[in-house]
Amino acid sequence: MKKLIEKLKAKTTAKNSFLTLCSNLISQLMSFLVTVLLGRSLSVADYGLYSILNSIATFVSDMADMGMNGAITRFVAEYRAKKDLASEEQLITYAIKRKFRNLIFVFIVLVLAAKPIATFWLKDTQSYPYVYLISLTCAFSLFVGAMRAIIQGRQEYEKYFISVVSWNFVWCAVIVIMFLTNKMTIAASIIAGAVSGLVNLILCTKLIGYNPKNAVRKSSISPDVKSKFNTFGNWMVIWSVFALLQSRADIFLLATFTTPEQVSYYDIASKLIKPVLMVVSAYAQVLNPQFASMDTREKLNKQIASVIKFIAVISALIGVAIVVVGPAVKLVFGNKYNDAIFPAQLLLFAIIFYVWTVPFNSALYAINKPEVFAFAALLGLIVTVVGDIFLLPSLGAVGAAITYIAAQVVGLVVAFVAYKLLYRKETLND
């Protein structure tokens, strides 16, 4: 019977991983199509401005999340495993209310900072209305992120598939219509993202059965639920700040020290490595809530061993991707983005180090050690900023890719050392 249960769980993991992988695959294919259409319709400089605006929107919405999505998934998974639905409901309501408060702050900041952002990063004082527009994208992304975190915590990956695919389908459809009608502009592209976000927010609310009125009603939350959420969430806040600054530092510093064209080359290169990241993230998304619900070291060790085998295969495939990315860029974009090829190859090389952090970070996630993620992100941020300051003025997008390699090496070293020092000393679900 025990072996039968383990086989069933293994099949469930494979099914959930497949669904998540398909979700991310379809998402990336549609995103790539959008990138191609935008790249062909906009000038290199305009595409660079759009990339900067998109990076600001993503950065702001992720910062406003303050690590809550990770905490939501972590504890929804735990409460579901314990069949404690009352605590789950309290957690969800508490998190949504906090997100709503953060959203108000985001709107105020973006309105007040619109002109300085346009002057400093967009290099165009007349572009500040674009900053107003991206506030809409931030709002919808903030709440969709919470809904998806709930779905992941419940391990309802059919619903996750529907959420991800629907968002990208609407977004892609609007972009295709603008492309065919020659209506593609920076403002229209941002509005397309906001429209798809609104549609997806409505759908996700239905998928999880959440009543939006709960966000404005008075409700109580037990001290234990609040304490656990805030303790884990506070470390995830620190992690998210450093991780987001690191992930967006390249674009912002490229915009500061170089030209919109260099931003475009790096953004195209970053888009090209996403299919590889998609495969790894699909697996990790399924693993993390499972790890949170496991209660024995033996189960975790078996899962970690399985992850290591999977990562070894991915690493070999990355080597192939490094070879074919050059011809792929020329085939899709022509010679317009030849300067994105070498940065793309460097970024793919960096991903080899990144994917090997997965088994070690998964183990640390299971034993509630988010402080390790925060420390790794801080070191990665320092490496990125220092490296970019020295390399970007002379190397542009290539310099950003080199610092990305260094940051991923640091992340792997921290994850491995922390795993060796902490994993065997901690008990589960402390």
Q: Which of 94, 111, 109 is nearest to 64 (CA)?
A: 109
Token pair recorded at residue 344? 């793309």
Residue 2 has pLDDT above 50, yes or no: no
Residue 1 has pLDDT above 50, yes or no: no
Residue 420 is which amino acid?
K
The mean pLDDT of the chain is 81
Cα 150 to chain center, whole Å? 16
Give the Cβ contact number of residue 165 at 10 Å.
18
Cα 384 to Cα 377: distance, rounded to the nearest angstrom? 10
Give the Cβ contact number of residue 86 at 10 Å.
11
The pLDDT-based confidence of 123 (bands split at 50, 70, 90) is confident
Token pair recorded at residue 206? 């239905």
The model's pTM is 0.66
Query: Of residues 121 and 83, which shows the higher confidence score?
Result: 83
Q: Which of 265, 422, 269 is nearest to 346 (CA)?
A: 269
pLDDT at 424: 64
pLDDT at 26: 83
Residue 52 is which amino acid?
I
pLDDT at 412: 93
Residue 129 has pLDDT above 70, yes or no: yes
Residue 91 has pLDDT above 90, yes or no: no
How large is the angle between the packed helices 297-333 and 341-355, nearest 10 degrees? Answer: 170
Q: What is the mean pLDDT of residues 377-401?
A: 90
Cα 166 to Cα 418: distance, rounded to the nearest angstrom? 39
Cβ atoms 241, 63 nearer than 8 A: yes
Cα 136 to Cα 118: distance, rounded to the nearest angstrom? 17
Helix, strand or coil, per DSSP, at residue 381: helix
Q: Contacts from 215-222 at CB under 8 Å and sequence distance 24+? A: 215/93, 215/96, 215/97, 215/100, 219/90, 219/93, 219/94, 220/90, 221/90, 221/91, 221/93, 221/94, 222/87, 222/90
Per-residue pLDDT reduced to its tens digit, 311-359: 888 888 888 889 888 888 888 777 778 888 899 999 999 999 988 888 8
Distances (CA, A) of 168 to 53, 91, 107, 226, 330: 19, 28, 24, 34, 25
Cα 232 to chain center, whole Å? 19
pLDDT at 29: 79
pLDDT at 293: 63
Cβ atoms 411, 354 nearer than 8 A: yes
Cβ atoms 125, 118 nearer than 8 A: yes
Give the Cβ contact number of residue 68 at 10 Å.
26
Highest mean pLDDT among 218-227, 230-239, 290-299, 343-352: 343-352
Q: DSSP for 145-211? A: HHHHHHHHHHT-HHHHHHHHHHHHHHHHHHHHHHHHTT---HHHHHHHHHHHHHHHHHHHHHHHT--
* 66 φ/ψ sector (left φ>0, alpha ψ -120 to 50, else beta): left
Helix, strand or coil, per DSSP, at residue 47: helix
Per-residue pLDDT reduced to its tens digit, 240-295: 677 767 777 787 788 888 887 888 888 888 877 777 777 676 666 666 666 666 66
pLDDT at 346: 94
pLDDT at 4: 41
pLDDT at 11: 55
Backbone angles phi, psi at 427, to 5 degrees: -100, 165
Backbone angles phi, psi at 422, to 5 degrees: -110, -30
Per-residue pLDDT reduced to its tens digit, 37-59: 888 888 888 888 888 888 788 87
The pLDDT-based confidence of 14 (bands split at 50, 70, 90) is low
Q: Which of 144, 150, 146, 176 is nearest to 163 (CA)?
A: 144
Q: What is the mean pLDDT of residues 144-170?
A: 88
Which residue do the tokens 């399985």 mark?
Answer: 306
pLDDT at 407: 93
Query: Of residues 130 and 367, which shows the higher confidence score?
Result: 130
Q: DSSP for 67-125? A: THHHHHHHHHHHHHHTT-HHHHHHHHHHHHHHHHHHHHHHHHHHHHHHHHHHHHTSS-G
- Tally the C-alpha atoms within 13 A of residue 358's C-alpha that lie toward its C-beta: 30
